[in-house]
């Protein structure tokens, strides 16, 4: 360590950090959380079944929009412009890459995986293990600057998911509907609390006083934005929960509790 | 209840140094700076420490306590158990002068590199008029006490001495943001933030925000909004085109 805290002019202290708290715990939990979600989402996306409950109109967000002729009858709320797909292509393949990109370039997730996966830095005032560092100035990380484009697509997908959840209500009301609706509301909250959204809503203005409506929008998004991290994790949770519920009902493992 | 606390304090200079053990009295209500002063008064009269206000407002007493960058005068002894050893070192990003005192001129250098407030040329100083909603974003950043704890903690320079030239650090990227958001500032701060002050090196891992004793949301309110503005100008062809067509880049 001669480049960082071990550099010649600095106070000579050999320890990488003198922190005595459990600074390694948050990055570890982040890694476990992200890994668990990625594992679950991968398995489910490629499973190709139990994504649609015909009787109640439940469609899991992982398969929405389902646009191919391979989709189960009824699950394609927007028609089937695409032909049958080989089994190894996830049926949700139209939206999934954008949703992945949206979360990968999200300012919060960046913080999370730079700290946990890449250890840069693992925690504040804990020396990182890398010899050199160029931040987000070069490829591939310079691509993070495209986050706003993923945000635009994510808005569209939120509309699609909302449509799915509302259409399901035409079949009556069950616990599944409540789960779908909760998930959609939280997805909206996560998407709208995005830092790029905050910038687009009004953050980019120099004079708020000349744009009262956008100032109001910026104020609202700013209020949500404070909770962005919490929403990022909550929506990972609700996505898994929603999908799991649809899977269990679709496979017949449990039956949906109907209210009417 | 007074008790004897175990302290480890770094003593030395640019050549060499080490952590020295001390056993020192602690009374109710004291902060770490009080204990350092007691060490000066009793066991280590030549111990160097910088301080001034003892109220968390002058930003002089920045150091690292149990490895965490903090103000000595704002860290209460009651946050430690009586058995715990309290380790105090100078900030580990700047060259050390002696004991707990470091040379923070890196920060003054970076401060000078940011062009100062640039009002419209035809506006006399007494004629500045602005609305509260327009200045409020900049005002949060004015709470800064220039303790440089954020500069010290930022891994871009803490872990990579060679980045010091290219990177101005969170404090001064925030200064660029403060002026960029200011309703009467006419200078173009965005390209220079990226090119001259190294905004692209920041990976928004938020350690600056975590250590700021003034609780300024440096990353969320200054760095990310500046990154978004850089994206507008450098990485977003649609916004770039829009600003050419509608000429609204200064709204
Ligand atoms: S958020 Fe950026 S400026 Fe702040 S400590 Fe992290 S890398 Fe440095
Ligand atoms: S921004 Fe906060 S941490 Fe940084 S110098 Fe100012 S007061 Fe200190
Ligand atoms: S979604 Fe997290 S910042 Fe945009
Ligand atoms: S002595 Fe002024 S901030 Fe600590």
Nearest CA to ligand 2 atom 7: B144
pLDDT of residue B240: 73
Q: Least CB-CB distance to A12: which of B17, B160, B251?
A: B17
B174: three-class secondary structure by DSSP: helix
Cis (ω within 30 of 0) for the bond into A121? Answer: yes
Task: Read off the pLDDT of residues A29-62 as tens digits, 9 standing for 90 and up.
Answer: 999 999 999 999 999 999 999 999 999 999 999 9
Interface test with B, best of A108, A124, A137, A223 (most B CBs within 10 A): A124
Q: Name the residue ranges covered by the structural domains of chain B.
A: 3-102, 105-245
| B34 Cβ closer than 6 Å to some ligand 2 atom | no
Residue pair B108/B89 in contact (Cβ under 8 Å)? The answer is no
Q: Least CB-CB distance to B231: which of A4, A148, A207?
A: A148
pLDDT of residue A240: 98
Query: Residue A3 above 90 pLDDT?
Result: no
* Count of residues making up chain B: 251
| B210 Cβ closer than 6 Å to some ligand 2 atom | no
d(CA A205, CA B163): 31
Question: In whole angstroms, how far apart are CA B8 and each of A237, B20, B23?
Answer: 44, 5, 9
d(CA B218, CA A113): 20
Examine residue A90 and state whether it is found in any structural domain, yes or no: yes
| B223 Cβ closer than 6 Å to some ligand 1 atom | yes
Q: What is the CATH architecture of B105-245?
A: Orthogonal Bundle (1.10)
Nearest-CA distance B144 → chain A (Å): 20
Nearest-CA distance B23 → chain A (Å): 19
Average pLDDT over residues B239-245: 76
Asked if B155 lies within 8 A of A199 by C-beta distance, the reply is: no
Average pLDDT over residues B38-61: 97
Query: Residue B232 above 90 pLDDT?
Result: yes
Query: By CA distance, what is B66's nearest residue in A?
Result: A19
Task: Read off the pLDDT of residues A146-188 as tens digits, 9 standing for 90 and up.
Answer: 999 999 999 999 999 999 999 999 999 999 999 999 999 999 9
pLDDT of residue A260: 79
Ligand 2 pocket test, pick from B171, B202, B215 with the greatest ligand atom count within 8 Å of Cβ, gives B171
Ligand 1 centroid to residue B219 C-alpha, Å? 7
Examine residue A2 and state whether it is found in any structural domain, yes or no: no
Average pLDDT over residues B97-107: 98
Question: In whole angstroms, how far apart are CA A192 and each of A232, B204, B239?
Answer: 11, 20, 20
Distance of CA A59 to the CA centre of its chain: 18
- How many beta carbons lie within 10 A of that of residue A183, not counting itself? 25
Nearest-CA distance A3 → chain B (Å): 5
Q: Model ipTM?
A: 0.95
Q: Which residues of B156-177 are buried (b: 16+ CB within 10 A; e: fewer)?
A: bbbbbbebbebbbbbbbbbbbb
Q: Which residues of B67-99 are buried (b: 16+ CB within 10 A; e: fewer)?
A: bbbbbbbbbebeebeeeeebbbbbbbbbbbbbb
A255: three-class secondary structure by DSSP: coil
Ligand 2 pocket test, pick from B71, B177, B218 with the greatest ligand atom count within 8 Å of Cβ, gives B218
Average pLDDT over residues A98-112: 98
Element (H, E) at A52: strand A52-53
Element (H, E) at B70: strand B68-71
Examine residue A233 and state whether it is found in any structural domain, yes or no: yes
Interface test with A, best of B97, B205, B210, B236 (most A CBs within 10 A): B205
Q: Between vectors from CA A218 to CA B178 and to CA A158, what angle results, nearest 5°?
A: 130
pLDDT of residue B213: 98
Task: Read off the pLDDT of residues B152-198 as tens digits, 9 standing for 90 and up.
Answer: 999 999 999 999 999 999 999 999 999 999 999 999 999 999 999 99
Element (H, E) at A36: helix A25-47
**HSE-up (13 A, CA, CB side) for residue A188:** 11
Asked if A20 lies within 8 A of B67 by C-beta distance, the reply is: yes
What is the C-alpha R_g of chain A? 22
Ligand 3 centroid to residue A197 C-alpha, Å? 8
**Which positions ≥6 away from A45 have C-beta within 8 Å?**
A62, A90, A92, A96
pLDDT of residue B49: 98
Which of residues A113 and B251 earns the better pLDDT score? A113
Superfamily of domain B3-102: Beta-grasp domain (3.10.20.30)
pLDDT of residue B247: 60
| A103 Cβ closer than 6 Å to some ligand 3 atom | no
d(CA A104, CA A256): 34
Nearest-CA distance A178 → chain B (Å): 33
Q: Between vectors from CA B187 to CA B236 and to CA B172, what angle results, nearest 5°?
A: 85
Query: Residue B249 above 80 pLDDT?
Result: no
Nearest atom in ligand 4 to the alpha carbon of residue B61 is 4
Task: Read off the pLDDT of residues B123-152 as tens digits, 9 standing for 90 and up.
Answer: 998 999 999 999 999 999 999 999 999 999
Examine residue A7 and state whether it is found in any structural domain, yes or no: no
Residue-number span of the structural domain to which A165 is assigned: 21-251
pLDDT of residue A91: 95
Cis (ω within 30 of 0) for the bond into A140? Answer: yes
Torsion of CA A96, A100, A103, A104, to 10 degrees: -170
B108-112: list long-range contacts, CB under 8 Å, 24+ apart: B110/B168, B110/B169, B110/B171, B110/B172, B110/B197, B111/B172, B111/B175
Q: Return the percentage of chain B with pLDDT > 70, whole number.
A: 98
Query: Residue B108 above 70 pLDDT?
Result: yes
Number of domains in chain A: 1
């Amino acid at each position: 360590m001669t480049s960082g805290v071990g550099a010649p002019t600095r106070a000579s202290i050999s320890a990488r950090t003198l922190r005595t708290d459990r600074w390694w715990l948050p990055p570890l939990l982040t890694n476990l959380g992200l890994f668990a979600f990625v594992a679950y989402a991968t398995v489910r996306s490629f499973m190709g079944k139990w994504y649609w409950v015909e009787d109640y109109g439940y469609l899991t967000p992982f398969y929405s929009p389902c646009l191919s002729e391979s989709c189960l009858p009824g699950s394609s709320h927007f028609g089937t412009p695409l032909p049958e797909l080989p089994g190894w292509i996830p049926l949700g393949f139209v939206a999934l890459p954008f949703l992945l990109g949206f979360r990968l370039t999200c300012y919060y997730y960046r913080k999370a995986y730079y700290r946990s996966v890449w250890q840069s830095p693992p925690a504040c005032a804990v020396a990182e293990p890398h010899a050199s560092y160029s931040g987000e100035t070069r490829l591939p990380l310079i691509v993070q600057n495209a986050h706003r484009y993923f945000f635009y697509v994510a808005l569209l997908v939120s509309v699609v998911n909302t449509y799915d959840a509302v259409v399901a209500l035409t079949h009556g009301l069950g616990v599944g509907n409540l789960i779908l609706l909760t998930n959609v509301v939280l997805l909206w909250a996560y998407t709208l609390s995005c830092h790029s959204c905050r910038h687009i809503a009004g953050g980019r203005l120099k004079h708020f006083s000349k744009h009262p409506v956008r100032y109001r929008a910026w104020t609202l998004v700013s209020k949500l934005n404070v909770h962005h991290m919490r929403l990022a994790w909550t929506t990972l949770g609700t996505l898994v929960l929603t999908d799991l519920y649809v899977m269990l009902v679709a496979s017949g493992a449990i039956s949906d509790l109907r209210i009417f | 209840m007074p008790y004897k606390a175990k302290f480890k304090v770094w003593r030395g200079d640019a050549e060499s140094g080490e952590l020295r053990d001390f056993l020192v009295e602690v009374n109710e209500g004291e902060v770490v700076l009080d204990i350092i002063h007691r060490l000066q008064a009793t066991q280590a009269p030549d111990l160097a420490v910088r301080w001034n206000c003892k109220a968390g407002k002058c930003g002089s007493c920045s150091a690292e306590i149990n490895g965490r960058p903090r103000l000595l005068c704002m860290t209460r002894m009651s946050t430690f158990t009586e058995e715990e050893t309290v380790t105090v070192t100078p900030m580990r990003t700047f060259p050390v002068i002696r004991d707990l005192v470091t040379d923070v001129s890196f920060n003054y250098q970076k401060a000078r590199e940011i062009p100062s407030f640039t009002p419209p040329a035809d506006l006399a100083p007494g004629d500045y008029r602005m609305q509260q909603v327009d200045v409020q974003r900049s005002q949060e950043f004015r709470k800064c006490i220039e303790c440089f704890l954020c500069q010290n903690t930022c891994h871009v320079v803490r872990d990579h001495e060679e980045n010091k030239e290219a990177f101005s650090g969170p404090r001064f990227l925030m200064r660029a943001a403060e002026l960029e958001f200011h309703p009467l500032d006419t200078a173009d701060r965005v390209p220079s933030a990226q090119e001259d002050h190294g905004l692209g090196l920041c990976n928004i891992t938020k350690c600056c925000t975590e250590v700021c004793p003034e609780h300024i949301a440096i990353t969320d309110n200054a760095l990310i909004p500046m990154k978004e503005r850089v994206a507008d100008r450098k990485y977003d062809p649609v916004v770039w085109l829009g600003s050419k067509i509608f000429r609204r880049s200064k709204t």
